[in-house]
Structure 1
């Protein structure tokens, strides 16, 4: 049962990544077909992000009442319906309506599934699962590209991914009896307990008062802000400020994402031996090295391009390790509530940081990108180290 459910969870993580790159890949065509400006993609992403934040904050109450398996199945089903709704939308404003259930489904499943894995599986699986999310996110642009090149239109790509999510929903529903039979991973000195034992809901006001929660929220916000800003602005920085050829800049910007995906796969092989703290500390430190390489005022582009790859590899283990360490840092009884708030902080950072840097760059230029990223690295590392000291004093 352990291995069977784990295989289903791996498939779920691939499916989670599938919708995330569709909008970016298809929007150059979508906005023309819908007769709206290119910039309105930001409205859709803001609506989706708002839904994910709301459902992440509600995930503790939902999961304690219905269980992680049912919440995951219903959330994936909700996302599937929203994607199919996207595929039949005749106008931009109908897309906005479907973006609401899209975001609500994505946030709930992310929080529920991440916490379930943190409680029931080893650190290596958390890293590998998030690597599989990257596989899904990498596949969806190819689905969009194929649909467009075949003359099917962007709506067909959404329909393909939506039907895939429907199939996954059926698989998750069929697997529901397994979710309560997998025993939790017990940290040293603690006994195992089954997932069927549920404590009371932890209100948000109480969650943020748990010692260390504000520290981890700040660290998670900083990490996700760092990742999303790098993804959006790295290529522009390389072209505008370092004079790198646009083709080469785009290729190395994609290597940042591939570094995250590949790095998580590699981290899975030693995550159980070195522990979550080392992965978080080493990850932030590696990103810092990458940022320094990007910023060095030398005559060659090689160091800047290498720095982008190093930064991607450094980013790889941070997100999974923060999630996986939650039950140990805050207790199993609080972990679902804390993970939900962490997801909300993550989406907030990912949503706000790129436009914030865009506004900053209009005054100071894109050359300030390494400084912006460096501040986020220091903030994330300092907050995570303060959390470690606080946990050690308990």
Structure 2
């Protein structure tokens, strides 16, 4: 997974003013913030769905995996549109589709209706996220700046992951429907659409339009570099998603002296993950990305290993703490995976990586749930998550060694 020796594709910054670059960055930060508001609030909404519609856990979990599946499909089959249509058109199309789907939550009440809207939201995210990720490459002058910007973007995602569940909890406490979260997200996306419409985008060198198509986009799935980073991303996501899907269930068995920590464990995890991403911008200025990836992924593995060996008494501290070490991994892998390729392929490769991201987010919790059901306790699912963390740490060690060689 070594970074290419090629320099990062240069963008003529004279074409676009620094104020426009700042506007584009703010727009990108806010897109990821809104995305996280809705996606990471699902865990708080699911208990309400179970109560209202008398659903089983498997049925209710569709609220999580349906949008993830469609984000994956959108990334894989629509990611190239960011290269073919251009970043601006792709981002605006995704934001408008997202807004419409969010507003339609007010027009229906059946569970199947909501799942249909979540599928549309998944496709919309697949569009605007690949456009945004490609745009980050356009406004970055080198690999280091690309990685730093990606960490800031994911930092705002982390903040959205804190705000979304908090908003839903407040709405439910006030006796107001959780659907207002989606109405708020839709309204925010209307504002972002207007910002995207007015923003000045950088002019990038494109390859011939005939070469930008779905067939050539899917060929990236055979590229060893793309596959290596995509596999690493999938392993990371499988490790992270275990926390916000299954950690509350694991900690429900905790009866020790730190009940307050068990109660707020997920919030603490999200705060450490968000704060760590902003801290990561500083860390990556002083250490090589290969070293950071190795040490942080190893720390995550040790947190999971401690949980596997010492049980829930250790999990109450170690699993929330893992958020600090996870923080830098995903944006760094994403950045290095995308910036290796030419600007005319940034949308396509972002889509491929997004496919592996969302597919892992959908499949890994399901596998953990199945293993937990088979062996009778959720801790067995965390043994699987520990294995994912171990493979990621081993891969990071090989990556670091290849750099030193």
**1:382–1:293 distance in 2 versus 1, CA, 3 Å:** closer
Paired position in structure 2 for 1:185: none
For the Cα contact (< 8 Å) 1:208–1:214, is it kept in 2? yes
Q: How many angstroms does 1:30 deviate by?
A: 4.1
For the Cα contact (< 8 Å) 1:83–1:102, is it kept in 2? yes
**Could you tell me how far apart the structure 1 residues matched to 2:223 and 2:59 are?**
39
3-state SS in 1 of match to 2:307: helix
Paired position in structure 1 for 2:118: 99
Matched, 1:160 2:179: no
3-state SS in 1 of match to 2:222: coil
For the Cα contact (< 8 Å) 2:45–2:168, is it kept in 1? yes
Q: How many angstroms does 1:258 deviate by?
A: 1.9
Paired position in structure 2 for 1:286: 299
Which runs of 5 or more residues in structure 2 are unaligned?
Answer: 1-19
Q: How many angstroms does 1:73 deviate by?
A: 1.6
Matches within 5 A, 1:263-342: 263-297=276-310, 301=313, 303-342=314-353
**Could you tell me how far apart the structure 1 residues matched to 2:365 and 2:256 are?**
22
Paired position in structure 1 for 2:227: 214
Match for residue 61 of structure 1 among 72, 80, 83: 80
**Normalising to structure 2: TM-score of the pair?**
0.83
3-state SS in 1 of match to 2:40: helix
3-state SS in 2 of match to 1:208: helix
Paired position in structure 1 for 2:268: 255
For the Cα contact (< 8 Å) 2:152–2:281, is it kept in 1? yes
**1:273–1:336 distance in 2 versus 1, CA, 3 Å:** farther
For the Cα contact (< 8 Å) 2:245–2:365, is it kept in 1? yes
Matched, 1:70 2:89: yes
Q: How many angstroms does 1:286 deviate by?
A: 1.4
Paired position in structure 2 for 1:374: 386
Deviates more, 1:70-79 or 1:26-35: 26-35
Q: Which has the higher contact order (CA 8 A, sep 6+)?
A: 2
**Could you tell me how far apart the structure 1 residues matched to 2:292 and 2:320 are?**
17
For the Cα contact (< 8 Å) 1:127–1:267, is it kept in 2? yes
Match for residue 358 of structure 1 among 365, 369, 377: 369
Paired position in structure 2 for 1:195: 204
For the Cα contact (< 8 Å) 2:93–2:127, is it kept in 1? no
Matched, 1:19 2:43: no
**Could you tell me how far apart the structure 1 residues matched to 2:385 and 2:94 are?**
33
**1:31–1:366 distance in 2 versus 1, CA, 3 Å:** closer
Q: How many angstroms does 1:226 deviate by?
A: 0.6
**1:392–1:60 distance in 2 versus 1, CA, 3 Å:** farther
**1:253–1:22 distance in 2 versus 1, CA, 3 Å:** closer
**Could you tell me how far apart the structure 2 residues matched to 1:261 and 1:350 are?**
18
Deviates more, 1:204-213 or 1:255-264: 204-213
Matches within 5 A, 1:170-185: 170-175=194-199, 178-180=200-202
- How many residue pairs match? The answer is 376
Paired position in structure 1 for 2:14: none
**Could you tell me how far apart the structure 2 residues matched to 1:362 and 1:90 are?**
31
3-state SS in 2 of match to 1:212: helix
Deviates more, 1:84-93 or 1:19-28: 19-28
Match for residue 52 of structure 1 among 51, 54, 71: 71
**Could you tell me how far apart the structure 2 residues matched to 1:3 and 1:159 are?**
27
Matched, 1:41 2:60: yes
Deviates more, 1:357-366 or 1:32-41: 32-41
**Could you tell me how far apart the structure 1 residues matched to 2:133 and 2:139 are?**
10
**CA-atom RMSD in angstroms:** 2.8
Matched, 1:146 2:157: no
**1:23–1:86 distance in 2 versus 1, CA, 3 Å:** farther
**Could you tell me how far apart the structure 2 residues matched to 1:213 and 1:386 are?**
17
**1:7–1:306 distance in 2 versus 1, CA, 3 Å:** same
**Could you tell me how far apart the structure 1 residues matched to 2:224 and 2:343 are?**
15
**1:196–1:333 distance in 2 versus 1, CA, 3 Å:** closer
Matched, 1:169 2:193: yes
Q: How many angstroms does 1:241 deviate by?
A: 7.6
Q: How many angstroms does 1:162 deviate by?
A: 1.6
**Could you tell me how far apart the structure 1 residues matched to 2:114 and 2:63 are?**
8
Q: How many angstroms does 1:163 deviate by?
A: 1.4
Paired position in structure 2 for 1:189: none
